[in-house]
């Protein structure tokens, strides 16, 4: 990544904002979790908005664990009893807070290692002064696609620009950019 920034050669990476924010030393937030963990976000929203009867129903049983991105369950208790201990209604805010903290910090060790490598090539003061969007742009390039440039450099084999399938292709292509 540092070489990309130094040379202007871009990598094709489609990584969420939570990654880029951690690289520049910015704190991720709930919006970043929502971007990649919609089901998790929906679950915690349901927990927070549930009435006590809804929360205590047989359909809504929660344990002191959270599922990580790799599918593993992480125990949120200090004594290792999370898999066996149900979350009580009066504990739901603490439970949600621990889940959110875990999701926000889940990749922090890996991102910190990447950042350590980056600051060997790029001055740390530079990383601390840019936005996560700028960082992504420096590494991956702009997300802009010059449709006219693509069209001018497209070679049609067995088709002409007037063929219906080609017209449809360009119409769809333009709508996606």
Looking at the structure, do residues 78 and 107 belong to the same domain, yes or no? Answer: yes
Looking at the structure, do residues 99 and 153 belong to the same domain, yes or no? Answer: no
Q: What is the three-state SS of 12-27?
A: CCCCCHHHHHHHCCCC
What is the 8-class DSSP label of residue 155? P
Model-level pTM? 0.75
**Contact 137/24 with Cβ under 8 angstroms?**
no
Domain of residue 152, residue span: 147-176
For residue 6, the model assigns a pLDDT of 86
Looking at the structure, do residues 135 and 151 belong to the same domain, yes or no? Answer: no
Is 85 strand, coil or helix?
A: coil
For residue 177, the model assigns a pLDDT of 66
10-residue block means of pLDDT along the chain (177 residues)? 87 92 93 91 92 84 93 95 95 96 95 94 90 93 84 92 93 85
Looking at the structure, do residues 95 and 171 belong to the same domain, yes or no? Answer: no
From residue 123, alpha-carbon distances to 2, 83, 100, 130 in Å are 10, 44, 31, 12
Query: How many angstroms separate the CA atoms of 128 and 89, rounded?
Result: 41
Looking at the structure, do residues 136 and 153 belong to the same domain, yes or no? Answer: no
From residue 89, alpha-carbon distances to 30, 64, 94, 153 in Å are 22, 12, 10, 62
Q: What Rg value do the Cα atoms of the chain yield, rounded?
A: 23
Q: Which residues of 57-73 are buried (b: 16+ CB within 10 A; e: fewer)?
A: eeeeebbbbbbeeeeee
Beta-carbon contacts of residue 66 (< 8 Å; ≥ 6 apart): 73, 74, 76, 98, 99, 102, 103
Looking at the structure, do residues 104 and 124 belong to the same domain, yes or no? Answer: yes
How many distinct structural domains can be found in the chain? 2
């Amino acid at each position: 990544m540092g070489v990309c920034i130094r040379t202007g050669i871009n990598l094709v990476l489609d990584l969420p904002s939570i990654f880029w924010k951690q690289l520049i030393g910015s704190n991720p937030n709930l919006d970043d979790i929502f971007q990649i963990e919609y089901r998790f976000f929906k679950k915690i929203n349901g927990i927070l908005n549930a009435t006590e009867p809804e929360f205590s129903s047989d359909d809504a049983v929660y344990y002191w664990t959270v599922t990580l991105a790799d599918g593993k369950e992480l125990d949120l208790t200090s004594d290792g009893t999370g898999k066996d201990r149900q979350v009580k209604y009066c504990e739901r805010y603490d439970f949600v807070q621990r889940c959110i903290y875990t999701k926000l910090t889940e990749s922090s060790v890996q991102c910190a290692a990447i950042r350590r490598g980056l600051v060997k090539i790029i001055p740390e003061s530079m990383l601390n002064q840019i936005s996560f969007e700028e960082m992504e742009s420096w590494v991956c390039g702009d997300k802009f696609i010059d449709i006219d440039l693509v069209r001018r450099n497209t070679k049609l084999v067995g088709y002409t620009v007037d063929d219906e399938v080609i017209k449809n292709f360009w119409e769809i292509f333009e709508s996606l950019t």
